[in-house]
Amino acid sequence: DTGVSQNPRHKITKRGQNVTFRCDPISEHNRLYWYRQTLGQGPEFLTYFQNEAQLEKSRLLSDRFSAERPKGSFSTLEIQRTEQGDSAMYLCASSFPGDEQFFGPGTRLTVL
Amino acid sequence: RKEVEQDPGPFNVPEGATVAFNCTYSNSASQSFFWYRQDCRKEPKLLMSVYSSGNEDGRFTAQLNRASQYISLLIRDSKLSDSATYLCVVDPREGGGNKLTFGTGTQLKVEL
């Protein structure tokens, strides 16, 4: 399967814990995006990378959130000191510049 | 005001019906427009891009009215398999490839 993959698919954690998600984009794609989707809403943009450079971050990305793409391939999204409001589906997408974004299956986070 | 507004539905229609969804966007400088489809608990997938001249893909027709900042999607001869959430999506930059702004989605249920 050469699509976008995300791990883990589900994560349950207690409030205050740190969590890290991983996204492996389609291998040729140099752009990688993170979105968050809550129930009944469309995805909301969080941040994106071109190769290893993080080019834009949303105001939604508080200082508890950090994303990296160290070698321009896979990316990680870390949430520190999780809060119940962080419960959501975290979606990763990849693309060529100016081209269709392909989404991964998402990581569903539940903060208890 | 939300950047992209859609009626959340649900729209319940019989098989074979024609159904239309509308969407408005607030950023007049937006350059690219799309409809994505999202099945329950799955990732969004691109259904079609939307052009000022209007475009058609089989049973699906999309229209863009830049003056009114209005986007539409028409589905003819609805199939059971069309049941999904349809997300109106705007990209403020030409050619896409950057952050996407999603509406909340319109839920369609096609019934026998």
Q: Which residues of B touch A48 (CB under 8 A)?
A: 98-99
Indicate which of A37, A101, A102, A110 best probes the interface with B, i.e. most B CBs within 10 Å of its own CB.
Answer: A101
pLDDT at B94: 47
Percent of chain A at pLDDT > 70 equals: 99
pLDDT at A1 over 60: no
In this complex, which of B45, B97, B102 lies closest to A95 when CB atoms are compared?
B97
A67 with A76: CB under 8 angstroms?
yes
More confident residue, B93 or A12: A12
pLDDT at A19: 98
Tens-digit pLDDT profile for residues A28-73: 899 999 999 999 999 999 999 999 999 888 888 899 999 999 988 9
Non-local CB neighbours of B56 within 8 Å, separated by 6+ positions: B62
Pairwise CA distance, residues B28 & B65, whole Å = 11
Nearest residue on chain B to A98, alpha-carbon basis: B97
In this complex, which of A43, A44, A58 lies closest to B44 when CB atoms are compared?
A43
When the pLDDT of each residue in chain A is averaged and rounded to a whole number, the result is 94
* Mean pLDDT to the nearest integer, B65-86: 96
DSSP string, chain B: --SEEE----EEEETT--EEEEEEES-TT--EEEEEEE-TTS--EEEEEE-TT-EEETTEEEEEETTTTEEEEEE-S--GGG-EEEEEEEESSTTS-S--EE---EEEEEE-
